[in-house]
């Protein structure tokens, strides 16, 4: 039974990460070929995916979806999470896709654990270990190889594109760290569902869902349906469910499927080609971040064991 549960967890995590990778490529197609405004795509996605996840929390998980509104402190935290964390994380990521393409955007966002680590170290919530610093250094070497092809005088992306990509990683760091208390209290579906819905409401003042600013045809509806239902609501629910069966370190490894899928599909669908040096850079980033995240989990387990023994 335990082995079956583990297989179920592996399938759920791999499936969720794969759908996220496809999601990024679909968004890339909408931006590059159909000229959709990033603000409209992000606002529509957040609004409707938020509704779906809240329905999942209420109807499937049987949660009181309005419980988080009953305490002022929790509501303020939720509003900060939705207006800053969710909006910055999602908007900058999709803006990075529109600027850099899905492949590079997912790679840059995948470095977010490094920024989380820096914050925790500065807050003295985490101790510095030399091996972690080595993994961070290798990750930045990988990014350097991707954006320069190893040539300091040549950037494959604009300075603004690189800043947007790094900004998306910082957005994920804020998105991960800020709501820790309410996530623990209410669970991910409720917090993320409201975060998406309220974040989507913010975009209705910028690019409302009824004013797309471009021609919406059957093809656009199909792409958006996939992005909202499959690439967001189902992918999130699947990956979240996998955590009931898998340890966090293994989930970190499987999360690397997202940038891999995005890069492969981008090369196939949009004919974006990477050089050998850039491929080495991509592999370096993925391996470095996975090792970094897993080493952090190992240290946490050792510290927990030591405290129990004391």
Domain that holds residue 197: 1-307
Coil, helix or strand at residue 248: helix
Q: Give pLDDT tens digits for 6-32.
A: 788 888 888 888 998 898 888 888 988
Q: Give pLDDT tens digits for 167-200.
A: 998 988 888 888 888 988 998 889 989 999 999 9
- 153 pLDDT more than 70: no
Residues 6 or more apart whose Cβ sits within 8 Å of residue 243: 9, 13, 251
Q: Give pLDDT tens digits for 75-114.
A: 999 999 998 888 888 899 999 988 888 888 888 888 888 8
Of all residues in the chain, the percent with pLDDT exceeding 70 is: 90
Residue with the bigger pLDDT between 42 and 255: it is 42
Of the pLDDT bands very low, low, confident and very high (cuts 50, 70, 90), residue 1 is: low
- 144 pLDDT more than 60: yes
- 251 pLDDT more than 70: no
Segment 126-149 shows an average pLDDT of 86
- Asked if residues 117 and 296 have their Cβ atoms less than 8 Å apart, the reply is yes
Domains identified in the chain, total number:
1
State residue 215's pLDDT score. 86
Of the pLDDT bands very low, low, confident and very high (cuts 50, 70, 90), residue 252 is: low
- Output the average pLDDT for the chain: 84
Instruction: Tell me the two tokens of residue 243.
Output: 């955590």
Q: Which residue has the tokens 């004013």?
A: 211
First to last CA, the chain: 34
Task: Note the residue count of the chain.
Answer: 310
Segment 142-152 shows an average pLDDT of 79
State residue 10's pLDDT score. 82
State residue 308's pLDDT score. 41
Segment 41-63 shows an average pLDDT of 93
């Amino acid at each position: 039974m335990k082995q079956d549960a583990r297989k179920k967890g592996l399938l759920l995590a791999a499936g969720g990460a794969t759908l996220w990778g496809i999601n990024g490529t679909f968004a890339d197609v909408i931006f590059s070929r159909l000229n959709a405004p990033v603000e409209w795509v992000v606002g529509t996605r957040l609004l409707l995916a938020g509704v779906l996840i809240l329905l999942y929390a209420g109807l499937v998980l049987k949660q009181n979806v309005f419980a988080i509104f009953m305490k002022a402190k929790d509501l303020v935290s939720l509003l900060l999470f939705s207006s800053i964390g969710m909006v910055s994380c999602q908007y900058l990521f999709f803006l990075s896709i529109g600027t850099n393409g899905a492949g590079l955007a997912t790679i840059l966002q995948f470095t977010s654990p490094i920024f989380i680590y820096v914050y925790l170290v500065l807050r003295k919530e985490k101790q510095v270990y030399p091996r972690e610093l080595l993994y961070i250094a290798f990750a930045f070497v990988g990014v350097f190889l991707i954006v320069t092809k190893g040539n300091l005088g040549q950037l494959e992306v604009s300075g603004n594109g690189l800043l947007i990509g790094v900004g998306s990683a910082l957005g994920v760091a804020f998105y991960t760290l800020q709501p820790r208390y309410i996530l623990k209290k209410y669970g991910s579906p409720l917090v993320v569902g409201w975060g998406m819905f309220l974040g989507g409401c913010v975009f209705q003042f910028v690019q409302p869902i009824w004013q797309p600013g471009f021609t919406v045809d059957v093809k656009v509806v199909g792409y958006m349906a996939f992005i909202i239902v499959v690439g967001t609501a189902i992918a999130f629910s699947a990956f979240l469910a996998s955590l009931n069966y898998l340890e966090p370190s293994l989930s970190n490894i499987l999360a690397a499927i997202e940038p891999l899928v995005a890069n492969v599909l981008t090369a196939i669908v949009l004919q974006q080609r990477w050089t050998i040096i850039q491929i080495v850079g991509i592999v370096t980033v993925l391996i470095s971040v996975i090792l970094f995240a897993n080493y952090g989990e190992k240290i946490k387990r050792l510290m927990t064991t030591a405290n129990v023994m004391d």
